[in-house]
Amino acid sequence: MSPKRSNYLHLQGSGPIPEGWDGIRIGSEFCSQLVPSIEDLRSISEKRDPGSLSLVTPVAGPDEVADVLRAVTAAVSMGWGEVVVNDWGVLAEAGGTGGIGITAGRLLMRFRRGPGVFDLSEDPGDELDLTTRRYFAWGPLYDSPFLAFLKGKGVDRVELDPPRHWLPLPDLDGLCFSLHQDSRLISVSAACPWLYDEKKGVWRSVKGCGRHCLGKDDIVMKSEMLTEPLLLRGRAILERVELDMDGLNLPDTVDRVICERTP
């Protein structure tokens, strides 16, 4: 019998919260302009059990870490259940925060999911046996010093980006895992497309961000190396994924599934 896994939805923007989800994630993995305000955090705390809420924090420059940490402190004080960290500076400051789970986001985990990776679905020759292919699929999870470092910073959960060709996970103790079910991170663009002024042909400063990407349709990108289109969401370049959860034989430690969109 498959274990009960919690289903978390990454909520885009500040719209109504859909029913039927065990948890809700807000924030951004990639853009410091989308860090929720204290008012945003308080508002969503009034609509849901705070223990079922996850604050997702982005990569942050030196001038942005303080804003991210203010949101983290507020989420902790409101009793949120999880903070997802994607920046080493933020982890250094927020790690070990009492009373809340710290999750290493998929940017910290350094998974390589681009279209140019090895085809791991079958052994392309005698050189790559099953063990080697599993390492290419889940490399950071085989790095014991790296995982020990994360645990030392208060990390008790790790996010998994699905590989292009599924291979069994390594056996790991002491960590729980969240699996992104419907998206795979390919890359991060150099600049946000919503800050481009088509009339003037120039890029606007990030200070002019109006959070226009929230609630907008994804920008579709084509890749000659992929049959499916890529999605540009803010600065994130994602590939849509449809995992057959029943056929993956996941260990019980993968106890949370993350969706970027409602079915």
The pLDDT value given to residue 99: 63
Average pLDDT over residues 228-236: 79
CA 123 – CA 129 distance, rounded (Å) = 6
Residue 10 lies in a domain: yes
Whether the predicted pLDDT of 165 surpasses 70: yes
From the list 171, 63, 56, 142, the residue with the least C-alpha distance to 102 is 56
Residue 123 lies in a domain: yes
Q: Which residue has the higher pLDDT, 263 or 198?
A: 198
The number of residues making up the chain comes to 263
Residue 68 lies in a domain: yes
For residues 237 and 188, the answer to whether their CB atoms sit within 8 Å is yes
Token digits of residue 258: 């993350």
Burial code (b: 16+ CB inside 10 Å, e: under 16) for 127-161 equals ebeeeebbeebbebbeeeebbeebbeebbebbbbb
Residue 206 lies in a domain: no
The pLDDT value given to residue 98: 62
Among 93-102, 151-160, 179-188, top mean pLDDT goes to: 151-160
Token digits of residue 25: 């994630």
Q: Which residue has the higher pLDDT, 11 or 83?
A: 83
For 114, list phi and psi in degrees, rounded to 5: -65, 165
The DSSP line for 44-97 is: HHTTS-GGGEEEE-----TTTHHHHHHHHHHHHHTT-SEEEE--HHHHHHHTT-
Average pLDDT over residues 168-181: 89
Whether the predicted pLDDT of 263 surpasses 60: no
User: Looking at the chain, which runs of residues are DSSP E strands?
Assistant: 6-10, 23-27, 53-56, 82-85, 101-104, 155-160, 176-180, 183-188, 196-197, 202-203, 219-221, 230-233, 236-240, 254-259
Mapped onto helix, strand or coil, the DSSP state of residue 130 is: helix
The pLDDT value given to residue 197: 79
Average pLDDT over residues 12-40: 86
Q: Report the CATH number that the domain containing residue 177 is assigned in CATH.
A: 3.20.20
For residues 221 and 143, the answer to whether their CB atoms sit within 8 Å is no
Residue 48 lies in a domain: yes
Among 25-29, 112-116, 245-249, top mean pLDDT goes to: 25-29
From the list 60, 57, 92, 91, the residue with the least C-alpha distance to 74 is 57
Domain count, the chain: 1
The pLDDT value given to residue 124: 56
The pLDDT value given to residue 1: 43
pLDDT in tens, 92-132: 988 766 667 899 999 898 887 776 665 666 655 556 777 88
The pLDDT value given to residue 156: 92
> Which domain does 61 fall in, by range?
6-183+242-259
Residue 50 lies in a domain: yes
pLDDT band at 228 (very low <50, low <70, confident <90, very high): confident
- pTM reported for the whole predicted model: 0.88
Residue 176 lies in a domain: yes
The pLDDT value given to residue 258: 94
Q: Which residue has the higher pLDDT, 16 or 32?
A: 32
Percent pLDDT > 70 in the chain is 90
